[in-house]
Structure 1
Amino acid sequence: MRNLIYAINTTLDGCCDHTKFYPDEETFAYFIQLTRDADTFLYGRKTYELMVPYWPDIAKDPAERANPDYEFAQAFDAVNKIIVFSQSLNSSEEEKTSIVSTGLRDEVLKLKQEQGKNILTGGVSIPTQLAELGLIDEYHLVVHPIVIGEGRRLFEGINLQEKLQLKLVESTVFKSGTILLRYVKQ
């Protein structure tokens, strides 16, 4: 069975709004490797629209090769499948993107049974729903040593039926003071 991994950058105060801060080189390298180890992304509409067409466009533009984001764009563009859970998005121009409007639990359980690499999710809304359903296998929280005081928060509005028990299996301190915390579901 494939693992569903929730990976996100956050601040000490739980802000995960990408417009409020930018990951350093070492953090970016971590996300590049994590992306290479996946072949499917699960997103909500908002996260999807932040990621596509931005990353595929960088990956396909030879002029972007000098851009430090180019390597991540290449890894992102190499992923086989993007599943977008949305009530408002009807279609996508990306041929590897599927829009799903119902059945989050069933769709994810089906994906986890397929052969392949890891499944990655990011953002706030869909991962919160996945956590509520107990479908996330690993949580990769990359905590940056800053306090923002505003913006979207990690697990904002989560409604758990029972406490989510996690086990810390890895912690890595990057040169910048950013800390990777990797938890698995118990």
Structure 2
Amino acid sequence: MRKLIYAINLTIDGCFDHTKVIGDEAMLEYWTHVLREADLLVYGRITYQLMVPYWPDVAKNHSMAKAENDFADTFDSLDKVVFSRSLERAEDKKTRIVRTDLQDEILKLKQQEGRDILLGGVALPSQLIALGLVDEFLFVIHPVIAGEGKRLMEGIDLQERLQLRLVESKILKSGCVALRYLKQ
């Protein structure tokens, strides 16, 4: 069975706003490595529209530094599933929009052959965490205190506390710390 891995950048105070974190070469190299371990990305509409068409455009033009271009190429090569009731069409041919039941579709995806599934964003992952469908958590914590911003699990009630086990940690050159947790 494929693992569903929630992967996200956050500040020390738990903010998941992409404008509040550090975007440096070391972080992009780390995320490129993470992407290469998966073969499917799962997003909600908001996160999808933050990533596409930006990264596919970088992949086409190679208009950035090497780390950005490598990330863009890897991102662009992966299939994507977007859960949305309002997105009318996908920006690229590697994206499929899903409007059916979230839990049923994720269970189907996990049963398919393939490598890991990476999950990004905030609202959709919060729902999947509450449903108990996320197997692994990958947080890159940035040495920033944002003071404000959206946080994971806002408006979502967990039925019971979720216990995690740290299985890997890595300090990046920028001072960011990558933490990998398994659900117990």
Aligned-pair CA distance for 1:60: 1.1
Aligned-pair CA distance for 1:89: 1.0
Aligned ranges 1:132-151 → 2 under 5 Å: 132-151=130-149
Counterpart CA distance in 2 for 1:29 and 1:68 is 6
Counterpart CA distance in 2 for 1:93 and 1:14 is 30
Aligned to 1:86: 84
Aligned-pair CA distance for 1:40: 0.6
Counterpart CA distance in 1 for 2:172 and 2:21 is 16
Counterpart CA distance in 1 for 2:15 and 2:65 is 30
> Does the 8 A contact of 2:29 with 2:67 survive in 1?
no
Distance 1:61 1:11, change over 3 A: same
Secondary structure of 1:7's aligned partner: strand
Aligned to 2:93: 95
Aligned-pair CA distance for 1:90: 2.3
Aligned to 1:18: 18
Is 1:5 the counterpart of 2:8 in the alignment? Answer: no
Counterpart CA distance in 1 for 2:47 and 2:58 is 17
> Does the 8 A contact of 1:9 with 1:23 survive in 2?
no
Aligned to 1:27: 27
Deviates more, 1:82-91 or 1:153-162: 153-162
> Does the 8 A contact of 2:45 with 2:82 survive in 1?
yes
Aligned-pair CA distance for 1:65: 5.7
Aligned ranges 1:23-102 → 2 under 5 Å: 23-62=23-62, 64=63, 66=65, 68-79=67-78, 81-102=79-100
Where do 5+ consecutive residues of structure 1 fail to align?
none
Deviates more, 1:94-103 or 1:140-149: 94-103
Deviates more, 1:168-177 or 1:6-15: 168-177
Spell out, residue by residue over 1:100-138, the C-alpha distance to the aligned partner (whole angstroms, 9 max, x if none): 122111101101111111101111011101101111111
Pick from 69, 82, 105: which aligns with 2:103? 105
Is 1:183 the counterpart of 2:165 in the alignment? Answer: no
Secondary structure of 1:19's aligned partner: helix
Aligned to 2:128: 130
Counterpart CA distance in 2 for 1:41 and 1:105 is 16
TM-score using structure 1 length: 0.93
Spell out, residue by residue over 1:46-93, the C-alpha distance to the aligned partner (whole angstroms, 9 max, x if none): 00000111111111114x2645411100000111x2111111112224
Counterpart CA distance in 2 for 1:109 and 1:115 is 12
Output the aligned Cα RMSD: 1.4
Distance 1:106 1:174, change over 3 A: same
Secondary structure of 1:69's aligned partner: helix
Aligned-pair CA distance for 1:25: 1.9
Question: Between the two proteins, what is the percent identity of the paired residues?
Answer: 57
